[in-house]
Amino acid sequence: MGIHFLASAALATLMMCSVAWADSIGKVVAVVGAPTSTGPSGKHELHAGSPVFENDKITVTTGNAQILFDDGTKLVVGPSSTLVITKFLLRGNSNTAQDLSIKALRGTFRFITGKSAKGAYDIQTANATIGIRGTGFDFWVSSSTGVAVLKGKVRLSDKLRSKTYIDISQGCELGTTEGAVARQFRRADLARRIVNHLPFIVNQSALKKAFQLNTQACSAALSELADEPGSSRSTTNSDPVAPGNNPYPGPNGPPATGP
């Protein structure tokens, strides 16, 4: 009787695991540090190959988690960051999403769209909505939300001020919800915000190639900031800051682990 009970319990556990895996909406491709996930499947440490699920809360203390969704969308959760994957709904039997919704609670992130239609994506923060036009961009969430667009276009809407929004285009344009309205910045101000909030633009060597973007458009602004007299980040290197070079040590950590 005892053996039969144990065998039945083991079978039930296996079936539950199989169902959970079938319900996964993507997987972790690589990690730096020890990110964790809390959700329907419980709390566990994330590793390369770990499945991710709807309603998972992803937390990264140091390092990052690089996530690939089933529709090809790529997401990087950076250091000191937390977000919740609030919804992922595939469209019929296709590999495109009808709805991919994320609530970013705090920290720094990279988002690269996959095969799904523009209207399928929904990114919310406490103070902003990020509308996607088919793109790749980095953003941060704190008392304000800021977005730097590297590819495509984003509409940043301020939740706290009705009908206030800006359209941000590729070429390292940056906008935030700071101050009275959503606004964009001159190049020097842009560079400071990148250095303070967007480590993967400064140095993306910790990311797998599929999660990297062309950051060359940001190089001139970063170089000017580095060469300012008295700057703590001043450097004798006169070359622009190319992707992967890092005169500004940041929290990226060692190369990611994963295939």
Question: What would the pLDDT profile of 158-212 be if each residue is shown by its tens digit?
Answer: 888 777 888 999 989 898 988 644 455 666 778 889 999 999 999 999 999 999 9
Q: What is the CATH number of the domain that holds 187?
A: 2.60.120.1440
pTM: 0.79
- Evaluate whether residue 35 is within a structural domain: yes
- Evaluate whether residue 88 is within a structural domain: yes
Query: Half-sphere exposure of 25 toward its Cβ, with a 13 Å CA cutoff?
Result: 24
Query: CA-to-CA distance for 136 and 40, rounded, in angstroms?
Result: 29
* 3-state SS assignment for residue 7: helix
What tokens appear for 96 in the block? 């495109």
When divided into structural domains, the chain yields a total of 1
Cβ within 8 Å of residue 65, ≥6 positions away: 28, 31, 35, 46, 58, 76, 77
- Evaluate whether residue 222 is within a structural domain: yes
Which of 95, 86, 182 shows the shortest CA–CA distance to 139?
A: 182
* 3-state SS assignment for residue 135: coil
- Evaluate whether residue 98 is within a structural domain: yes
> Which is higher by pLDDT, 192 or 74?
74
- Evaluate whether residue 258 is within a structural domain: no
Angle at 224 between CA 218 and CA 227, to 5 degrees: 140
Binning pLDDT at 50, 70 and 90, where does residue 54 land?
very high
User: What domain range includes position 161?
Assistant: 26-226
